[in-house]
Amino acid sequence: MASFNIDPIVLDQKILDIFGELTINKKMVRELKIREARTIPGFVEEWLISRHQTPEKEMAVVYREITGFMSKHLPARTEKEIIKKRISDGEQIVLLDKFSARIDIDKGLSLVSIPCVDINNAQALDEILGEHEALLSGGQWGAGRLKIREEKPGKRVIELIDFKPMQAGRVKLDKIAEARRQFSTEEWIYLIIRTMGYEPLAYSASERFNLVLRLIPLVHKNINMMELAPKGTGKSFIYTNLSRYVWLNSGGALTQAQLFRNQQTKEIGLLGRHDLLVLDEGQSINFKGAEDIHAKFKDYLESGRYSIGGHEVASECGLMVLANIDLFENRPMREDYIRHLPDMFHDDALMDRFHGIIPGWKIPRFTTQHAAQGIGIKADVFGEYAHQLRSVGFFEFPFGKAPELDGDMRDKKAVERLSMALSKLLMLNPDDPDYDFYVFSPACELRERVRSQLAALNPNEFSPGLKVKRV
């Protein structure tokens, strides 16, 4: 990687000048410690701070205002029955939470889930779902006004009568592309790292780039990746704090109904509702009904579709598997490090459907010095930006190109898809002098690690080298 010599104070001012109100001081966010008062994602925390903090306010005042707001609108678990009682008594209550909705076709109802009060059968006005379709596609954080309604004698329901989302609106991609032209590639990587919540200068150039690789499945559809690393490198940190379109599952058991479709409730599973499904603690996941899940995983990771009970689902959701592995002298202890994962992933046919492996063993343990120390783009803004990049066309956003390739079809598909994602993220096309170094070569290396594991699993059929070349 290229060297990086710049005054961070100068660069922070440049970021602030160019992006203005889209930025936030990540160090200030950390020092306020809002999430110690309530468990909320980082993008919600930054949203709240940006709406309460002003230059003349002391941090103690900002903290009191935000925690006071949360105490009123985001109840602690011990207060949920008190909230229900207030609603039952006829009071209209505004709650701050991740609301999600589903349609019960048989009953002709729109049912709303409100996690902070353990309610999953509230109802919603049709106009609310029409205006906020994100409620139907994985849920959305926001302020919802609730009231009790008597549906018929002896039956009362809680109803969502108003909703104000807290995520950013659509990002103007042309403005972001225009801003990018004012930064070198390394400066742009610096900004991305800071936005992720890390401090760029605490990492070497190669370490910074490995961190950036974690964003690949956020900006391009149907990318399947793994990151294998020792504990404590911050593998899951960005996925829970940077985007509302990501679902993170932390170890434990997973069923076919959870992943694909619940045949009893007719509810679509995690792979059909999100931009990215992250399986954290991958080494300890227990797949219930592993054979059926295995078969459906192979189908989905190849085609972006799966069938269950005569029902076919198409999705653009990517898959990221995060797992801990043992190291020796800062390298995986064994060549076939994929063996740390459940048996399902030891099938070379399934493994071949993964596009890349991030070398998490090359990223140091996360310490206080690695936490962001200055200006970055607000998490909710960046999360929305990444979401838009997944479906953007070349006429709207002239990046996301890959060179013409020839060779093994799975290698070709993987390198192309990874190159397209990095091209979007770094805004570099094949005609840019930085493209090969920052886009094409890293894409090849990501796929080469998959090939190394295929060769370890089945040396008779797979060789470790990448079977693809530029035309």
247 and 393 assigned to the same domain = yes
Q: What percent of the chain has pLDDT over 70?
A: 99
Report helix angle 42-52 to 59-73, nearest 10: 120
How many other C-beta atoms are found inside a 10 Å radius of the C-beta of residue 409? 9
| Cβ 32 vs Cβ 59: under 8 Å | yes
C-alpha span between 22 and 385 (Å, rounded): 11
What would you measure as the largest C-alpha separation in the chain, in angstroms? 73
Buried b (16+ CB within 10 A) or exposed e, 255-270: ebbbbbbeeeeeebbb
314 and 249 assigned to the same domain = yes
**Final residue in a domain of this structure, among 124, 148, 165:** 165
Q: List all residues 6 or more positions away from 437 whose beta carbon is below 8 Å from its beta carbon.
A: 2
Q: Is residue 2 part of a domain?
A: no
Q: List all residues 6 or more positions away from 212 whose beta carbon is below 8 Å from its beta carbon.
A: 189, 192, 193, 425, 426
Q: Report DSSP letters for 28-97, one per residue.
A: HHHHHTGGGTS---HHHHHHHHHHH--TTS-HHHHHHHHHHHHHHHS--GGGHHHHHHHHHTT--EEEEE
C-alpha span between 451 and 76 (Å, rounded): 48
Q: Is residue 84 part of a domain?
A: yes
184 and 260 assigned to the same domain = yes
208 and 333 assigned to the same domain = yes
Q: What SS3 class is residue 314?
A: strand
294 and 407 assigned to the same domain = yes
CATH number at residue 260: 3.40.50.300
Q: Is residue 223 part of a domain?
A: yes
Q: Label residue 2 by pLDDT band (50, 70, 90).
A: very low
- Phi-psi region at 188: left, alpha or beta (left = phi > 0; alpha = psi -120 to 50): alpha
154 and 217 assigned to the same domain = no
Q: Between 391 and 139, whose confidence is greater?
A: 391
C-alpha span between 36 and 61 (Å, rounded): 16
300 and 246 assigned to the same domain = yes
Number of domains in the chain: 3
Matching residue, tokens 């909710």: 380
**Final residue in a domain of this structure, among 108, 134, 165:** 165
> pLDDT at position 107, please?
81
Matching residue, tokens 């989905």: 300
Report helix angle 185-196 to 409-426, nearest 10: 90
pLDDT (mean) for 60-85 = 89
How many other C-beta atoms are found inside a 10 Å radius of the C-beta of residue 309? 10
107 and 57 assigned to the same domain = no
Matching residue, tokens 């898809």: 417
How many Cα atoms are found within 13 Å in the side-chain-facing hemisphere of 47?
26
CATH number at residue 82: 2.40.50
121 and 237 assigned to the same domain = no
Q: What SS3 class is residue 104?
A: strand
**Final residue in a domain of this structure, among 165, 191, 219:** 165
Instruction: Write the CA distances from 140 to 277, 399, 427, integer angstroms.
Output: 16, 28, 28
Matching residue, tokens 């949920």: 80
The C-alpha R_g of the chain, in whole angstroms, comes to 23
State the residue range of the domain holding 52. 24-73
> pLDDT at position 168, please?
64
Matching residue, tokens 């290229």: 2
Residue among 137, 134, 129, 197 at smallest CA distance from 168: 134
Q: Is residue 1 part of a domain?
A: no
409 and 319 assigned to the same domain = yes
pLDDT (mean) for 121-141 = 87
Instruction: Write the CA distances from 115 to 39, 122, 146, 238, 269, integer angstroms.
Output: 12, 11, 14, 22, 18
Q: Is residue 15 part of a domain?
A: no
| Cβ 418 vs Cβ 450: under 8 Å | no
For the stretch 13-56, pLDDT in tens is: 999 999 999 999 999 999 999 988 888 888 889 989 998 988 88
Q: What is the mean pLDDT of the chain?
A: 91
pLDDT (mean) for 231-235 = 86
Which pair of tokens denotes residue 329? 């002298």
Q: Label residue 240 by pLDDT band (50, 70, 90).
A: confident
> pLDDT at position 455, please?
96
Q: Is residue 3 part of a domain?
A: no
58 and 92 assigned to the same domain = no
Q: Label residue 1 by pLDDT band (50, 70, 90).
A: very low
Q: Is residue 17 part of a domain?
A: no
341 and 269 assigned to the same domain = yes
Instruction: Write the CA distances from 307 to 254, 290, 314, 315, integer angstroms.
Output: 18, 16, 9, 12
Q: Is residue 136 part of a domain?
A: yes
